[in-house]
Amino acid sequence: MKSKILFLKPIIKEKIWGSESWGVSAYRDADCIIDGGEYDGRTLSDLWKKVPELFGHADYPEFPLLTKIIDAKDDLSIQVHPDNDYAQKYENSLGKKECWYILECPDKASLIIGNNAKDHEELEDMINNGRWSELCNEVPVRKGDFIQIDPGTLHSIKGGFVILESQQSSDITYRVYDFDRVTDGKKRELHLKQSLDVIKTPGKYRECDIIHTTDVHDEKQLLESNDCYKVWKMHITKEADLSHDEPFLICTVAEGEGTADGKNVKKGDSFIIPCGIKDVPVTGNMLLIMSAL
């Protein structure tokens, strides 16, 4: 019998700073293809529209979530994302609420999360005068940390990080500063007006806002629950069953390898457990990051 689980082929995107593997996506130019099973070769967006019973949810015209692994060889731009209201008004898109699980990072690492401007007037002055070291709020982090990034939060991932990102299905990014890097003979576009529109002040992010996750074996650990998604961590060390009461469940192998519903899976692989599918057998030694509406 063919597996009812939806295994997906990742989409690899090369960037000036490294690469991204979009493991679960139905976004405009990055529509994942189903790998095997009854729906082999069909796109995720096609199934969302034509076989909605797989997902048990009809409130969204398009598949609403996205999962990627970011491999940063160099620093990403200092950037910000809009919320739903702003993105729908100006970009015809969902906003971009996202969260990070740190898979790899250097020793004594830090990330830029939040800003140090006391109000919008100071924010504008810091940006217009290039006062980046004063503006950017740096937070120490380590492998296994989980960080929620709300729209309006200034942020940047640094070189040497590998991060699993769970997010809304959106690619709307406003660059505030890009270190004057040049590609194809010119500097990349900045989005200062939009950034000033959406960056929230005061926008201080504190170390205590970061979840230092623990490694509880064979149990789902809820890391985040908000109006856009829920995210869990689960370290599989023996045979277990993945059950859920969500419209659908996205699973990504963050570390290790094993099997899911009898199919071999390894680090970087992603699959979706559709609506109504219960007790999916998983085996091996692997870390799963899971998300749902």
Cite the active site residues.
175
CA atoms within 13 A on the CB side of 102: 26
Contact 44, 10 (CB under 8 A): no
* Sequence-distant (≥ 6) Cβ neighbours of residue 107 within 8 angstroms: none
Distance of CA 263 to CAs 35, 260, 276, Å? 11, 5, 20
H or E stretch at 34: strand 33-34
As given in the structure block, the two tokens for residue 207 are: 């170390």
> Is the separation of the CB atoms in 271 and 289 below 8 Å?
no
For residue 7, report the phi and psi dihedrals to the nearest 5 degrees: -85, 140
Q: How many CB atoms lie within 10 A of CB 218?
A: 12
Q: Which residue has the tokens 């991932």?
A: 157
**8-state DSSP, 43:** B
Nearest partner of 291 among 240, 229, 212, judged by Cα: 229
Residue 279 to residue 8: CA distance in whole angstroms: 20
Half-sphere exposure of 90 toward its Cβ, with a 13 Å CA cutoff?
17
User: Using an 8 Å Cβ cutoff, are 72 and 41 in contact?
Assistant: no
